[in-house]
């Protein structure tokens, strides 16, 4: 009997390991190009600034969407709490369980409201940070364009940039 169980376990483990080692499904079609090159835009600027523009826009929409969803959920929960309080106040019988339930809901919503305000503040700070970062990259791109235009005209710039602007990090999910 134990030999049959050992054989069954061995077969089960072999099937699971074979399944785990199978190749992943083929990836979907490649994404279309994000940014079409302009005739006067260098490839370096396109690769640096256009690479993650669409992903960055989607990453910016995600926190706002989550925040709006949380706000609507909190409003619905506050409305439900108000209904529960009205129902409990209109009841002739004072139920200690219902009173404890209402107190728990009030504490929960108070905590969620605090968390929501923290989320609003952190989202605003992140948007401000991202706007400043984008402005710095736009400034660096404008400076690089000016230097490239001066070099094309054969002029020497008074103070060429010796440092290269850092590449932006892709947004984290």
- 26-82 per-position pLDDT tens digit: 656 555 545 444 554 445 444 455 556 566 556 666 778 888 898 999 999 999 999
Q: What is the pLDDT of residue 142?
A: 94
**165 assigned to some structural domain:** no
The model carries a pTM of 0.48
Percentage, residues of the chain above pLDDT 90: 36
How high does pLDDT run on average in the chain? 77
**1 assigned to some structural domain:** no
The one-character DSSP state at 34 is S
Q: What is the pLDDT of residue 20?
A: 67
**171 assigned to some structural domain:** no
**5 assigned to some structural domain:** no
pLDDT in tens, 2-22: 888 878 778 867 777 767 676
User: How many structural domains comprise the chain?
Assistant: 1
Q: What is the pLDDT of residue 157?
A: 47
Distance CA 51, CA 160 (A): 26
The dihedral built from the CA positions of residue 132, 138, 141 and 147, taken in this order, carries a sign that is negative
When pLDDT is averaged across residues 95-99 and rounded to a whole number, the result is: 88
Asked if the model's pLDDT at residue 113 lies above 90, the reply is yes
CB atoms within 10 A of CB 77: 15
Domain span at 63? 41-152
**164 assigned to some structural domain:** no
């Amino acid at each position: 009997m134990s030999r049959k169980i050992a054989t069954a376990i061995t077969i089960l483990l072999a099937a699971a390991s074979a399944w785990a080692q199978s190749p992943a499904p083929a990836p979907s079609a490649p994404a279309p190009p994000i940014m079409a090159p302009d005739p006067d835009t260098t490839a370096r600027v396109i690769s640096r600034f256009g690479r993650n523009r669409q992903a960055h826009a989607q990453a910016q929409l995600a926190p706002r969407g989550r925040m709006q969803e949380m706000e609507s959920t909190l409003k619905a929960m506050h409305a439900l709490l108000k209904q529960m309080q009205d129902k409990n106040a209109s009841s002739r019988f004072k139920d200690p369980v219902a009173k404890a339930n209402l107190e728990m809901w009030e504490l929960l919503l108070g905590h969620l409201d605090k968390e929501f305000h923290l989320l609003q503040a952190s989202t605003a700070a992140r948007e401000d940070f991202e706007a400043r970062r984008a402005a710095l990259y736009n400034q660096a791109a404008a400076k690089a364009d000016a230097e490239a235009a001066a070099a094309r005209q054969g002029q020497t710039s008074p103070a060429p940039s010796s440092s290269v602007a850092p590449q932006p990090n892709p947004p984290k999910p």
